[in-house]
């Protein structure tokens, strides 16, 4: 099973709303990632969790707050977003190894629109 | 600064032709190399992984790796309109976290 699931598929929120994106994988991967992707651009790394600990935060504004409740789940809490935060938010997972077997698999993404 | 370079395209090929997509990388300690296909509005899908110099074939796809010249390529034989997508090259080295290229847009016209 190489599936990463994400909910919701689409999200429209106002700038004062609080919402959460959810991601789940059952591949036994111990690294999980959040990416932001704008149209015609490559995925832009936001956060990396390794063994449920935050290992990378790519200077992401505090209105984005990640959480890794266990080895299978990853959340992204959103608060006071701006219209420019509208994008496709991608979750991915892999093994945290630098050699082979570190293939990264993506979920289907959440299309976020901030009004 | 690790860099992965791809020509953004678009690369336009006729149906049935071979599409050749190229990627160069700057970090000499890079170990793992991946090709993803991304349809418009969808998420990236892993289609090939390659770790050793040489060719690796999977169906109509062939990945080629040359570590001495620091490039990796993807060949798509018998290209179909359904292959029209953006192809992302990703590379990992000392870290397990991949560096992505900007992607090459491929258009296969009937």
- Three-state secondary structure of A8-27: CCEEEECCCCEEEEEEEECC
Q: What is the DSSP letter of B82?
A: G
Which residues lie across from B36 on neighbouring strands? B46, B88
**What's the token pair of residue B20?**
């050749």
**Beta strand pairing call for A53-57 and B32-38:** unpaired
**Residue-by-residue pLDDT tens, chain A, 115 positions:** 669 999 999 999 999 999 999 999 999 999 999 999 999 999 999 999 999 999 999 999 999 999 999 999 999 999 999 999 999 999 999 999 877 778 999 999 999 999 9
* CB atoms A98 and B94 under 8 Å: yes
Contact residues, chain B, for A107 at CB < 8 Å = 43
**Confidence band of B93 (pLDDT split at 50, 70, 90):** confident
Q: So what's the pLDDT on residue B1?
A: 72
In chain A, whose CA is at the least distance from the CA of B43?
A108
> Closest approach of chain B CAs to the CA of A105, in angstroms?
7
Average pLDDT, integer, range B94-102: 91
The answer to whether B106 and B87 have CB atoms below 8 angstroms apart is yes
- Return the half-sphere exposure (C-beta side, CA atoms, 13 A cut-off) of residue B67: 15
Q: What does the pLDDT average to over B26-47? A: 95
Å from A15 to nearest chain B CA?
A: 23
Contact (CB<8Å) A41/B100: no
Q: Check CB contact of A57 with chain B, cutoff 8 Å.
A: no
Q: Count other Cβ atoms within 10 Å, centred on residue B78.
A: 12
pLDDT of residue A1: 62
**Chain-chain contact of A108 with B90 (C-beta, under 8 angstroms):** no
Give the whole-angstrom CA distance, residue B3 versus residue B91: 9
A15 touches chain B (CB under 8 A): no
Which position has the token pair 């060949």?
A: B75
- The span from the CA of B97 to the CA of B95, in Å, is 5
Average pLDDT over residues B94-107: 94
């Amino acid at each position: 099973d190489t599936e990463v699931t994400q909910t919701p598929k689409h999200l429209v929120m106002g700038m004062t709303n609080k919402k959460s994106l959810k991601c789940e994988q059952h591949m036994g991967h111990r690294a999980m990632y959040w990416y932001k992707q704008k149209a015609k651009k490559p995925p832009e790394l936001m956060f990396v969790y390794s063994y449920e600990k935050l290992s990378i935060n790519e200077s992401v504004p505090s209105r984005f707050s990640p959480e890794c409740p266990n080895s299978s789940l990853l959340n992204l809490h959103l608060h006071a977003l701006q219209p420019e935060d509208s994008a496709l938010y991608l979750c991915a997972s892999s093994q945290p190894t630098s050699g082979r077997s570190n293939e990264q698999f993506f979920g289907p993404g959440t299309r976020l629109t901030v009004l | 600064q690790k860099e992965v370079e791809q020509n953004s395209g678009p690369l336009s090929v006729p149906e049935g032709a071979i599409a050749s997509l190229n990627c160069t990388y700057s970090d000499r300690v890079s170990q793992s190399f991946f090709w993803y296909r991304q349809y418009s509005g969808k998420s990236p899908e892993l289609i090939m992984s390659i770790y050793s110099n040489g060719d690796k074939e999977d169906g109509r796809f062939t990945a080629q790796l040359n570590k001495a010249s620091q490039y990796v390529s993807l060949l798509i034989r018998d290209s179909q309109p359904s292959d029209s997508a953006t192809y992302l090259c990703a590379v990992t080295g000392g870290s397990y976290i991949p560096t992505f290229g900007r992607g090459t847009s491929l258009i296969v016209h009937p």
